[in-house]
Structure 1
Amino acid sequence: MKIRFFILLFSIASYSFDGNSQALIDDKDTTFIDIGGAVRFNTMYTIYEGETSPLPTENRNGFFWDTWRFEARGQTKNIGIDFEYRFYPGFNTHFVKKAFLYHDFSDNLQMQLGVTQVPFGKLEFSGNSWWFHLPYYFGLEDDYDTGIKFKWQKENWTYHFAYFLMAEPRGVSEPGYGSFPSARYSYDVIPEDGYNGNKERNQLNGRAEYEKGKFLMGLSAQFGEIYNSNNDDSFNQWATAFHSQYALKEEAKIKFQFTHYDYPNSLDDDGNPVNHVNMGAYGFNTYQVASSASTFSLGLSYEYNVDWGPFLA
């Protein structure tokens, strides 16, 4: 059991500059670059029951520098780039969150090539809290992988089609601290702890979403391969989700998602059947996830705009 209390002390929103902000909105052929970032400090009080914590309690309580990030986005005519790199001093790790080239074929069709968000479930994510929802820890919420993605919009519909060759690149974690293979932004099947060869490969994603007025709903499907480089064997993985959202009013929204995933015939390095897969992120040690599960998630959010001097939201 673990209890954590977080207080966000302050955050600096990303800052961007360009020659003429209105021109960027009105004229898509205008060349621009946006450069920004953010920092976050936390105060934390943590209680762990037992001695299973990968992070000693005495090193986690108090006031500390939680996160800082650098981001850049640029475009010339219908070609652009989108990049974000994150540092987590409290976790002793840093990594790429996203890094892709995009091309607008038209106002309704865009291609993204590189490290980009996997189109699955409610986008940008279904969770409302620092902890996200359970699908996040299954690698099915706010997941980023390396590949190519197409987004097509037609009237009230938005479609995504994507192929991902592999997971996002591994970042950097301090030697002797946590897990080096899990130094990454999103949770993935990673090679460690008796499953040293297991890696995500050749994943296909399809997503359709309908939105009209205050209501939206969508379906997602995913199919891919888990390849073991140690024994040159592989097994499949697949997942599906239904999501919906209803705006009670402009500031308040309620979200629902059903998710099911399966890693049939999952294997370890020796080719033995197992009923779990190893996953990791943020430089923590790996943990075992059931090879098949279904989840239901429900969330309510309320946005409150503030104007406190330099703090705008």
Structure 2
Amino acid sequence: MTTSTDRRAPALRFVLAGLMGCLCVSARAEDALKAPLTLGGAIRFNYVHKSWQDTYRSGFFGLDTARLDVNYDDGRLIGSAQYRYNNFPKGQGGYWQHFLHHGWAGVRFSDQSELHIGLDRNPFGLLPLASNNFYESIAFYAGLEDKYDLGLSYASRPGPVQWHLAFFPRDGGAYGGGSNTAEASNRYSYNIVPDDAEQGYGTGQSDRERNTLVGRIAWHAGSDGRHELGVSGLSGEIRNDRGAGTRRRALALHYRGQFGRFRVMLEALRYRYRTAHGADQTYAGLDPNSFVMLGGFGYPFPVASAGDIRIANISYDLPGRLGPFHDFRLYNDYSDLRKRSGPFRDSVQNVSGLSFSAGKWTFYTDLMFGKHHPYLSPDAGGLAATSSAHEGFTRRINLQAGYYF
């Protein structure tokens, strides 16, 4: 005699088999999503208008960046690399370049601390960035924000107190670019670099950064670590072909806080570059040791060899969506550089803007005001400007659309 339970058994086994199959498929899908090796990238386009540029009164539009990202994380072994190609239309100089943005491999220990080796971020000041806008802060152009060098770095385990220690024997190196770029400046990070006779200032300075030691400690407080207070220090050599080994030093204090939808970033830093330039390694009659040559994105420019940088940013995250658009953030980022060497005039940068997203697209709308700044004014001297002819503020409008995959 067959019972009702016996009659239900095949059906029950079928249902259980189906559920197990679904679970296996789900597990395989989850494993695929957690694959340790991932590939990605981005392509970005910019519209730019400069108030001081008479030849492009309507601004200009073009490709900004194409990049490829490779990341690896199996829980213990980790790594990340990114290669970029930059193209700038005629209004931006009409040149192209390519470079390794970063490339490192490492290990994550059982306490979640990490050791990296390779081309990695300098753990100095506010991390990962001291800004909300696309063009970052003056600290970026002075080589003290979003900077990558070649060496070893260690990050302690996450917690209320976290510290970083890094040693970089060399800078990030130079890569390739068009014939109208300075070879040593074809890089992402702004480093002290040899000057260029054709695309630079012809000073003959041949400095390079070597053996840089960086330490950082940050205290986190409040729910979810909403407040962070930190201190960073940097010390390294400056070498040139004259056999003189001199040093550079920097110290920074920073604060990051979140108050509901408001976010605040504050940083104060002081740097000093001690050089040993010859009397002939100068331009415009300046003291040759009152400035150093920094290079990045294809071109070098002079920067005062000593100065104070102040950063004050505030942002507000707008709630809700507007059609496909979401993650709206309003911000105002202010930074300035007060120079403590030479007859140089102070540099100022202020960026008011809005960023938002739509699927894999990210957008920036930035209105920038500034003076004595290599990206914000016609000063020939960049961050070591002496001219009084451009004492007024100039502006730059930047509209960017980037597709990230």
Q: Does 1:143 align with 2:158?
A: no
SS at match of 1:181: helix
Partner residue in 2 for 1:72: 70
2:250 to 235, 239, 261: 239
When the two structures are superposed, what TM-score results if normalisation uses the length of structure 1?
0.82
Distance change >3 Å, CA 69–CA 215, structure 1 → 2: same
Q: CA RMSD in A?
A: 2.6
1:81 to 63, 71, 79: 79
Residues 1-23 of structure 1: per-residue CA shift (max 9 Å, x gap): xxxxxxxxxxxxxxxxxx96855
1:181 to 177, 181, 184: 184
Give the distance between the partners of 2:43 and 2:236, measured in 1 at CA: 36
Larger Rg: 2
- Give the deviation of 1:212 after TM superposition: 1.5
Q: Does 1:261 align with 2:265?
A: no
Paired amino acid for 1:108: Q
Q: Does 1:297 align with 2:300?
A: no
- Give the deviation of 1:73 after TM superposition: 0.5
1:191 to 191, 194, 201: 194
SS at match of 1:136: helix
Greater mean alpha carbon deviation, residues 165-174 or residues 199-208:
165-174
Partner residue in 2 for 1:10: none
Q: Does 1:277 align with 2:292?
A: yes
Give the distance between the partners of 1:291 and 1:20, measured in 2 at CA: 57
Partner residue in 2 for 1:221: 233
1:50-65 maps to which residues of 2 (within 5 A)? Answer: 57-58=55-56, 61-65=59-63
- Give the deviation of 1:65 after TM superposition: 1.0
Greater mean alpha carbon deviation, residues 194-203 or residues 207-216:
194-203
> Any unmatched runs of 5+ in structure 1?
1-18, 51-56
Give the distance between the partners of 1:277 and 1:164, measured in 2 at CA: 20
Partner residue in 2 for 1:288: 302
SS at match of 2:140: helix
Give the distance between the partners of 2:29 and 2:107, measured in 1 at CA: 21
1:37 to 41, 44, 60: 41
Distance change >3 Å, CA 138–CA 308, structure 1 → 2: same
CA contact (8 A) 2:238 2:247 kept: yes
Partner residue in 1 for 2:349: none
SS at match of 1:185: coil
Distance change >3 Å, CA 20–CA 223, structure 1 → 2: farther
CA contact (8 A) 1:257 1:296 kept: yes
CA contact (8 A) 1:196 1:269 kept: no
SS at match of 1:48: coil
CA contact (8 A) 1:231 1:269 kept: no
Partner residue in 2 for 1:54: none
Q: Does 1:311 align with 2:359?
A: yes
CA contact (8 A) 1:195 1:278 kept: no
Q: Does 1:212 align with 2:215?
A: no
Paired amino acid for 2:78: G
Give the distance between the partners of 1:266 and 1:122, measured in 2 at CA: 31
Give the distance between the partners of 1:199 and 1:44, measured in 2 at CA: 32
Give the distance between the partners of 1:59 and 1:190, measured in 2 at CA: 33
CA contact (8 A) 1:266 1:276 kept: no
SS at match of 2:110: coil
> Any unmatched runs of 5+ in structure 2?
1-26, 89-94, 196-201, 282-286, 326-357, 363-405
Greater mean alpha carbon deviation, residues 180-189 or residues 73-82:
73-82
Give the distance between the partners of 1:253 and 1:77, measured in 2 at CA: 31
CA contact (8 A) 2:114 2:157 kept: no
SS at match of 1:308: coil
When the two structures are superposed, what TM-score results if normalisation uses the length of structure 2?
0.64
How many positions carry a matched residue from both structures?
A: 281
SS at match of 2:51: strand
Residues 225-256 of structure 1: per-residue CA shift (max 9 Å, x gap): 0111x21222100000000011021x420110
Partner residue in 1 for 2:19: none
Paired amino acid for 2:277: L
- Give the deviation of 1:60 after TM superposition: 9.6
